[in-house]
Amino acid sequence: MGLAKRIIPCLDVTAGRVVKGTNFVDLRDAGDPVEIARRYDEQGADEVTFLDITASSDQRDIILHIVEACAAQVFIPLTVGGGVRSVADVRRLLNAGADKVSMNTAAVDNPDLVAEASAKVGNQCIVVAIDAKQVAPGQWEVFTHGGRKRTGLDAVAWACRVQQLGAGEILLTSMDRDGTRNGFDLPLTRAVSDAVDIPVIASGGVGNLQHLADGVTQGRADAVLAASIFHFGEFTVRQAKEFMRERGIEVRL
């Protein structure tokens, strides 16, 4: 036995509230990210990720209070991303209690930011999120701004580049699959995971538990991230782990 594959529920947060909420039946406040994070911790989640999608800049500091409250109650790793533009942003989130900070558009616009942040806070704290779309068979391009803007960067080459720059982990989202519930883009996941030596989190498209298992066995992901299948109470994290274990995948149960 060795290292477990991780299951990471992801919460989209705007102005301090979880987008779409969840339908855990017995939550007092279905929009409270801290309460939901605590629930996932109880279910055995290996980490929790908050993606801050707050649009207006005057509400951006709200996420810091959420992170503080979460870190006081949930003793598993917490990753926070969304709108991170500078080393100062990284520091603010870490000081509030985040364990890792993920950056996406800012890394593409200014790759030196990855190197600078990693040198300052350690690569274990720096996650680079890559949003990729297939552009040809076996070829994927990096997009930014929530998938609206092409970058011309090849996703596999970019993953290798950010590893060199000092990323400690890659959060890889297939824009083609995100929201479809058709499963991860497995060739993309595998291509990136095989190309780098740092852990890869597969994201985008999970609709059932088999998809999570496939991400690990076929995509060779080190961790799998999902939102809706957990939020709407279809499956608990524990059920997901039991499913994976029955298929020979090592998990923390």
Partner 1 sequence: MASASGRIAVVDYGMGNLRSVWQALVHVAEGREVLVTADPALVATAERVVFPGQGAMPDCMRELEARGLRAVVLEAAKSKPFLGICIGLQMLFEHSDEGDVPGLGVFAGGVRRFPAEKMIAPQGDKLKVPHMGWNEVKHTRSHPLWNGIADGARFYFVHSYCVEPLDRECIVGMTDYGIPFTSAVARDNIFAIQCHPEKSAEAGLALLSSFTRWKP
Q: How far is the CB of 38 from partner 1 (least distance, A)?
A: 12
**Active site residue ranges:** 12, 131
> Is the Cβ–Cβ distance between 250 and 2 less than 8 Å?
yes
Binding of partner 1 by 164 (CB under 8 A): no
CB 145, min distance to partner 1, A: 28
Q: Please count the CA atoms within 13 angstroms of the CA of 244 that sit on its side-chain side.
A: 28
Which amino acid is located at 52 in the chain? Answer: D
210 binds partner 1 (CB under 8 A): no
Report if residue 220 touches partner 1, rule: CB under 8 A.
yes
Q: What are phi and psi of 16, to 5 degrees?
A: 85, 0
Pick 34 or 198: Cβ nearer partner 1: 198
Q: In which region does residue 80 sit, left (phi positive, over 0), alpha (psi from -120 to 50) or beta (all else)? A: beta
Of positions 15, 27, 53, 71, contacts partner 1 by CB under 8 A: 71
Nearer of residues 198 and 229 to partner 1, judged by Cβ: 198
> How far is C-alpha 156 from the geometric centre of its chain's CA atoms?
18
Shortest Å, Cβ 92 to partner 1: 11
Q: Which stretch binds partner 1 (CB under 8 A): 2-10, 19-27, 138-146, 181-189?
A: 2-10
Residues 6+ apart with CB under 8 A from 58: none
* 46 belongs to the binding site for partner 1 (CB under 8 A): yes
Question: H/E element holding 169?
Answer: strand 169-174
Could you give the count of Cα atoms lying within 13 Å of 228 in the half-sphere of its Cβ? 13
How many of the chain's residues bind partner 1 (CB under 8 A)? 35
> Which residue from 32, 35, 41, 52 is in contact with partner 1, where contact means CB under 8 A?
41
Question: Using the rule CB under 8 A, which residue among 72, 88, 135, 157 binds partner 1?
Answer: 72
The secondary structure element, H or E, covering residue 250 is none
Options 14, 21, 99, 247; binder of partner 1; rule CB under 8 A: 99
Query: From the DSSP assignment, how many helices (H) and strands (E) are in the chain?
Result: 10, 11
By rule CB under 8 A, what string of x and - marks binding of each residue 122-161 to partner 1?
xxxx------------------------------------
CA angle centred on 204, ends 186 and 21, rounded to 5°? 155
Give the Cβ contact number of residue 220 at 10 Å.
16
By the criterion CB under 8 A, which residues form the site for partner 1? 1-6, 41, 46, 71-72, 75-77, 94-97, 99, 121-125, 168-169, 194, 196-200, 220, 222-223, 252
